[in-house]
Amino acid sequence: MDDENVDNTDTVEENDTEESKPTEDDSKLVEIERTLAIIKPDGVDKANEIEETILNEGFTILQKRSLQLTPEQASEFYAEHFEKPFYPRLVTYMSGGPIIVMVLVRENAILHWREVIGPTKPSVARETKPDSIRAKYGGDDEHNAVHGSDSSTSAEREIRFFFPDTVFESTLIGDTARDYLAKYINPTLSKALVELCKEKPADPVVWLADWLLANNPYRAGVQETVESN
């Protein structure tokens, strides 16, 4: 956690090419990170500008919610700062008004978001990163407008705090998702739809589900062990 001082077609053609399974090199192309972003109470009135910056920096906003923390919730979220002298002021600050929390995704999301928001202290940000979010929208050094996770461990913990049902796994977005679908999903799905048109079953949804289960090229194989007596 980063808060040293302070701180959601109609026509189907059959594809006869053999489907290729994902390789280790392919998986490297689809790995992206998630990070937690918080627009703090003093930054909420600039939320539109901050979200525009987020999108312009290549992030996708995967999840988003607005809420107001109770003092107890703020205390829990910033528990690692419990023994620091600014802790009571931090809890008061973060529970003093509405906030917006977002899960952001892109390659190298954690480091890139921290670059975009700038140094923790707005006074330092204005000197060293004048185009950063904290330089533009932060107030004094205890009111710095935004938060960003400082590590993958912190990001997972913080995301689960606000979005407890989040499942952490590789996420595909944009061109990467389209390429993955075209390479690994569409060929099998096209064959399924062709067969569906030929069979014309009474319950096409159930038939399609059964066909995909039976013809999934990526299903785990089971080897039978034959013991000789």
Cα 157 to Cα 77: distance, rounded to the nearest angstrom: 9
Q: Parallel, antiparallel, or unpaired for β 33-39 and 99-106?
A: antiparallel
State yes or no: 144 annotated in a binding site. Answer: yes
State yes or no: 56 annotated in a binding site. Answer: no
State yes or no: 219 annotated in a binding site. Answer: no
Tokens of 110: 């954690």
State yes or no: 120 annotated in a binding site. Answer: yes
State yes or no: 215 annotated in a binding site. Answer: no
Active-site residue, from 81, 112, 143, 147: 147
Tokens of 43: 């930054």
State yes or no: 134 annotated in a binding site. Answer: yes
Under the phi-then-psi rule, with left for phi > 0, alpha for psi from -120 to 50, and beta for the rest, what region is 94?
A: alpha
- Report the alpha-carbon angle 58-60-61, nearest 5: 135
Q: Does 112 qualify as catalytic in the annotation?
A: no
For residue 172, give the 3-state DSSP assignment: coil
* Catalytically annotated residues: 147
Binding-site positions for ATP: 40, 86, 114, 120, 134, 144
Binding-site positions: 40, 86, 114, 120, 134, 144
